[in-house]
Structure 1
Amino acid sequence: MIFKDLQQMVPDAELAITEPLSKHTFIKTGGIGDVFIKPFDVNGLQKIVKYAFAHDIPLTVLGKGTNVIIRDAGIRGIVVSLDQLNKVSVINETITVGSGANIIDVSRIALQHQLSGLEFACGIPGTVGGALIMNAGAYGGEISEVLTSATVLTQSGEFRTLKTGEFQFGYRSSVFANEHLIIVEAVFSLRKADPTLIKGKMDENTFLRESKQPLEYPSCGSVFKRPPGNFAGKLIQESGLQGTRIGGAEVSTKHAGFIVNVDNATSTDYIQLIEHVQKTVKEKFGIDLETEVKIIGKNPEG
């Protein structure tokens, strides 16, 4: 019924049933999505959101799946991919971009237009929407410094435009996450600069990322938030956990803050290893590690 309704309502959208969500996450794990749909424009997305709200159907929004673990039991209801909402326009020192665009690509477009402010994002492998939700940051910069407005859909499918002062940005937090808003478009305010200097900073950031992070394996990025006054990777390393493995998931020997998929890991492997790391660090240092990665989907026993 849901499939047929969506097929009629958004005929140009990519639509599938019982979609393996492991195809849509960076760690290559995750169960089945009941109905998977990829709208090609904002109007199609709004129709999907309104339909789900009106019929009380669970709705899950995915970007590139870079900072998410989908449980092995999958996701019930409708899973929406925003991949196709990726248009980018540049006017003077302002970049307007769809939420499904890769933030790395946007940083490169900024460079092409001699615009500075997104150099920190040149190695963040997620979408613009994901970057806003998490107030993504790296190497001394973060989204909160450049975002000036955002267009969102509420859970009931109504458009809202938020401006500076309404974003509620904190460390890996935002109004978008707090109020479960669906990001449609973002506007970044940048500044003109010497492209040689911009590229130099991006090259430096890329070198640091490639030299320190285990990019040779699938991963969900930094698993844990930085505890106040400390570093998750340092605590994990000093707990002797590097190389610890459950199933095919392993605490990276290159960077302790990462858990990598070294041998056909399942999401359950990942979650159990995360819990083991949290328990060990708590016992050794008395510090609770909070996950930065989002764990979503149906519990196997649920």
Structure 2
Amino acid sequence: MDLIIERFRKANVGQVKVNEPLANHTTWKIGGPANVLIIPNSIESLITTLSLTKESGVGVFIIGRGSNLLISDKGIDGVVIKISDVLDHLEINGDEIRVGAGHSLIKLATIVSKKGLSGLEFAGGIPGSVGGAVFMNAGAHRSDISNILTKAKILYQDGTVKCYNNDEMDFSYRTSRLQKDHGICLEASFQLKSGNREKIIAEIQKNKEYRKQTQPWDYPCCGSVFRNPLPHHAGKLIEDAGLKGYSIGGAQVSTMHANFIVNIGGATATNVLELIDYIKTVVYNKFQVKLDTEVELVGNKN
């Protein structure tokens, strides 16, 4: 590992952090160390980093703003690349936009609303990056990314870049092709609609207020933990099972929204995983409904 660290530094790929606690880079504030964390200073540096890791045979994992992600207490072996600080460009051409995968989704929704562009109102209050939203087909309020995306630029770990249109992204509920072929979203293009600026801004604000009033963003969390097992809603099932406020260690089922697990202080990934398993068991025993996680579980086994 010392050799590849030296190669990263010689190549001037950006910040190179050794044994960096990934809890510093996730919204849950949970996660053990990465052998090496790279924060590239350009897209070229990102591609160089991927090339160097491939040549050395070292494993690589990409993170954005660290939401919807649970990293093991033992961390991640190999190289972790954080792209949220470099892929944050934005171009607006009429009602079409091109945006870097590292751009904040909430910030993007706010910017376009002030320009009288409609289509991202559902994203008001959704944490994380554009790339993460594309990866998960993030959505709320009866809409999602698949309704507005026209094209995505995807980087693969062998250095190849491909562009896919909407039909090629294999979107479904909280799913895209990127979860299957491990592509890295570099950029997304969205088709929006011109509308009444004041009404759009009001809708964004309403959605932000709704999330503030119903979801526990005053504690570290990752967003929704479980996918909704339609036609049921995970939060309702967990609440009806009497699990609001149930905790293991520092991980607690939110008293505000039962599909959120919050870090009330010192929570570990082990705490969260044990709580997830307990919730799954109780809900299945009571309602015969299987819950699947929406959050991505990564890293070395605890």
For 2:31, the aligned partner's letter is G
2:152 matched residue in structure 1? 150
Identity of aligned residues (%): 38
Structure 2 CA distance, aligned partners of 1:110 and 1:40? Answer: 26
* Structure 2 contact 63–81 (Cα < 8 Å) conserved: yes
| Structure-1 separation of matches of 2:124 and 2:159 | 32
Could you say which residue in structure 1 is the equivalent of 2:137? 135
Counterpart in 2 of 1:264? 266
208-217 or 29-38, larger mean C-alpha shift: 208-217
Query: Does the aligned pair in 1 maintain the 2:125–2:211 contact within 8 Å?
Result: yes
Matched, 1:168 2:166: no
Distance 1:28 1:203 in 2: 27
Displacement of 1:164 after TM fit?
Answer: 2.4
Aligned partners of 1:251 and 1:258 also within 8 Å: yes
Partner of residue 118, structure 2: 116
Matches within 5 A, 1:277-292: 277-292=279-294
Give, in angstroms, the shift of residue 52 of structure 1. 1.9
The match for 1:35 is 36
In the TM superposition, residue 288 of structure 1 has moved relative to its aligned partner by 1.1
Determine if contact 1:278/1:288 at 8 Å carries over to the other structure.
Answer: yes
Residue 7 of structure 1 corresponds to 9
Residues 40, 85 of structure 1: 8 Å contact kept: no
Match of 2:58 in 1: 57
Misfit runs of 4+, over 3 Å: none
Within 2, Cα distance between the matches of 1:50 and 1:284? 50
- Asked if structure 1 preserves the Cα contact closer than 8 Å seen for 2:134 and 2:145, the reply is yes
Q: Could you give the per-residue CA deviations for residues 73-112 of structure 1, whole angstroms, max 9, x where no partner exists?
A: 0000000001221111111111111101101111111112
The one-letter amino acid of 2:273's match is: I
Question: Helix, strand or coil for the counterpart of 1:33?
Answer: strand
Q: Which runs of 5+ in 2 are unaligned?
A: none
Alpha-carbon distance in 2 for matches of 1:111, 1:255? 27
Matched, 1:101 2:132: no
Shift of 1:2: 1.5
Q: CA deviation at 1:247?
A: 0.3
Contact 2:13 2:49 (8 Å CA) reproduced: no
SS at match of 1:257: coil
The answer as to whether partners of 1:20 and 1:31 remain within 8 angstroms in 2 is yes
1:220-231 matches, within 5 Å, as: 220-231=222-233
Per-residue deviation at 1:228? 2.3
Q: Please name the residue that 1:68 is paired with.
A: 69
* 1:160-239 equivalence runs, <5 A: 160-239=162-241
Matched residues in 1 for 2:93 and 2:298: separation?
37
Instruction: Name the CA distance, whole Å, in 2 between partners of 1:80 and 1:187.
Output: 23
Question: Which letter does structure 1 place at the counterpart of 2:152?
Answer: A
Deviation at residue 150 of structure 1 after TM alignment: 0.9
- Structure 1 residues 50-59 or 136-145, which shifts more? 50-59
Letter in 1 for 2:109: S
Q: Which residue of structure 2 aligns with residue 45 of structure 1? A: 46
Contact 1:53 1:157 in 2 (8 A): no
1:80 partner amino acid: I
TM-score by length of 2: 0.97
Match of 2:256 among 254, 257, 263: 254
Report the Cα distance in structure 1 between the residues aligned to 2:47 and 2:268, rounded to whole angstroms. 33
Partner of 2:229, secondary structure, is: coil
Call closer, same or farther: CA 1:12–1:47 in 2, change over 3 Å. closer
Alpha-carbon shift at residue 55 of structure 1 (Å): 2.4
**Is the CA contact 2:110–2:201 (under 8 Å) kept in the aligned structure 1?**
no
Q: How far apart are the structure 2 equivalents of 1:52 and 1:174?
A: 25
Return the letter of the residue paired with 1:68.
L
Q: Is the 8 A contact 1:121 1:137 kept in 2?
A: yes
Instruction: Work out whether residues 8 and 49 of structure 2, in 8 Å CA contact, stay in contact via their aligned partners in 1.
Output: yes
Total equivalences in the alignment = 299
Unaligned runs of 5+ in 1: none
Q: Which residue of 2 aligns with 1:24?
A: 25
Aligned-residue Cα RMSD (Å) equals: 1.0
